[in-house]
A and B are shown apart, each in its own frame.
Chain A
Amino acid sequence: MTTRRRPADRLVRSYVVTDGRAHPTRNTLDLVTLLIATDDLPLTGLNPEKRRLMELCRPGALSVAEVAGHLSLPVGVAKVLIADLMDSGHIVTRAPIPAARPTDATILQEVLDGLRARL
């Protein structure tokens, strides 16, 4: 983590990217919220970062953190952009899937039983 070097001297600064805003229009976004691009809306009128964000999300779902990483923007800035794109309908989000879902206790128990039975 320490060796990672984001291009700190970005040519286009964050406030130009978000037009000076730091508060996203909605606060439902999380680092692991999955973003899915909708196909039907045109990209005209979007600034280059938003357009790149759409291109990133087109091939499949990406999380907010990944999008921010690919755009090499701070997560807070990326959230502002994503919230804008959600408002304009370019992006829909899907809540992160709870990680505990597959570890169902009964299944684990059954697996354990099965393993014990085998051994």
Chain B
Amino acid sequence: MFWCLAVGLFAVTVLLVRERGITARQRRRNAELGDGLRARDEELRHLVSARLPALEDAPHQQVPAVGLLDTRLADTDFAKCLDGVVERFAGAVEHARSSADQSAKAALKASMRSLQALANEQQVSISEMQDRHDNPGVLSDLLEIDHANAQFGRRAQVIAVLCGSWPGRQRATSALVEVVRGATSRIRDYRRIRINGEVDIAVRSRAVEPVVLAVAELLDNAARHSQPGTTVEVTVQTVHNGACVVIDDAGVGMDGQAAEHAAELLARTHDVDIVRLGDPPRFGFAVIGALTERYGFNVSVDTLSPYGGVRAVVFLPAALLTHLDPADQAPVPPAEPPAPAHVPAPAPAHTHSTDTAPTADPAAPVPDPHAASAPASAPDPHAASAPASAPEPTEATTPGGLPKRRRRTPRQPAPQPVAAEEVGGRSAEENARRMGAFARGTRSGRDARHTLHDDEGNSHE
């Protein structure tokens, strides 16, 4: 009986101990599972409140900005599923963003192009008005309008370029200094720009407009971020394998964050997001970045100017440069004493050859403002190598292909007022000839009158 009891008790004890172990294990497991569940809940909340918003904000989906909250969950199926969600979401965000960006760009581009066309049209009419009106008061107003119009055109152009459009105008190869001055023409404070340095290097025609735009943006930045009384110094110089335009301002400079942002935009580490340029949007560096990438020049703004502000350096590689042919630039034939013997001077004596010169050259095509097409019209074999019509002393033509009146006044050692010899642009020889004719005529007239009088006298007698 005792034994029976003892065995029964033992069995109960064993069972109890076992039960207890099981319960403890159950409880532990329960707690674990609860933890796991809580962790997953937390993780989900984290996903909604932190990871997805981070993706929304993060430009261009770099490495997931915010990771898992609980590292214990890494490598679980749950985490993989979460990553899948994140990926899908990122893809959707990216897709929505790019399509929004594209449609924004397309809309902006189209409207900016039409504005650009209007600005160009207006510029043409302003130029014509400047030609037409000789009154300084009117001219002064026109200059102001022209200035405003140039800035307006540049704004439109910048936005259009940023949206993937071409810079717009086709220009002839221009001297680098002219390119910088062209950029100066398009900013508000053009009077504060000082250009130093003389180089005889020119920018190839396809790069003229992009370089003008980029330099204009840099000059505008420089002038905008410096005191109104200070000047912005521009130095143009040639370097070993290209040319540099160095722009120094005496302004406030850029702080670290701004410089970093600028460098990022200039380096084009990623596509420019048109909707993320700030409010108000700052297009400057973004458009420079787009232009440098497309045309292969380089801009850096990370040096300090000796005047305290920013030093921006535009480097143009030799591929974008060419040497200016002096014949292109020479506005008149060189002053060598020409042989005035039998020059076909087709233009009337004192009219403006560009205005009314008759088309004496039958080979000349229709007047083309672009000198680049001139070689076909230039009958001079020496001019064949020059891209523009080289004004030769004997075969001078205007850029329009019309013959040019040549001055036949030889260089006078002392510019003393010559009385009535060269009247209205007539040459000395011609005057001499006419005066000689007058003299001969009067002389023979006098002689004839004398004889006539004599005759009359005789008859009266």
Interface residues of A (CB under 8 A from B): 1, 3-16, 18-24, 36, 38, 48, 52, 55-56, 58-63, 65-66, 69-71, 74-77, 79, 92, 94, 97, 99, 101-102, 107, 110-111, 113-115, 117-118
Contacts and interface: CB of A to CB of B under 8 A. Distances in A.
A22 B142 CA distance: 9
A75 B131 contact: yes
A118 B124 contact: no
Contact of A9 (B124, B175, B184, B438): B124
B133 interface: yes
Given A4-B355, A22-B137, A76-B133, A11 B424 contact: no
A66 B420 contact: no
30 contacts: A3-B367, A4-B354, A6-B127, A8-B127, A9-B120, A9-B124, A10-B127, A11-B181, A13-B147, A22-B136, A22-B143, A23-B137, A38-B415, A48-B175, A55-B331, A56-B331, A61-B409, A62-B407, A70-B332, A77-B139, A92-B415, A94-B417, A97-B419, A110-B441, A111-B441, A111-B442, A115-B441, A117-B445, A117-B452, A118-B444
B38 interface: no
Contact of A60 (B175, B355, B407, B449): B407
A11 B352 contact: no
Given A69-B354, A99-B423, A111-B442, A15 B131 contact: no
Given A7-B369, A92-B415, A111-B438, A12 B134 contact: no
A22 B147 CA distance: 13
Interface residues of B, number: 70
B369 A15 contact: no
Given A22-B137, A55-B331, A74-B130, A5 B417 contact: no
**Is the contact region of chain B dominated by helix, strand, or loop, or is it mixed?**
helix
B197 to A, nearest CB: 13
Contact of B423 (A4, A74, A102): A102
A82 B177 CA distance: 22
Contacts of A107: 438, 442
Contacts of A97: 419-420, 422-424
A76 B130 contact: yes
Contacts of A7: 369
B420 A101 contact: yes
B185 A15 contact: yes
A41 B370 CA distance: 34
Given A11-B174, A60-B411, A22 B139 contact: yes
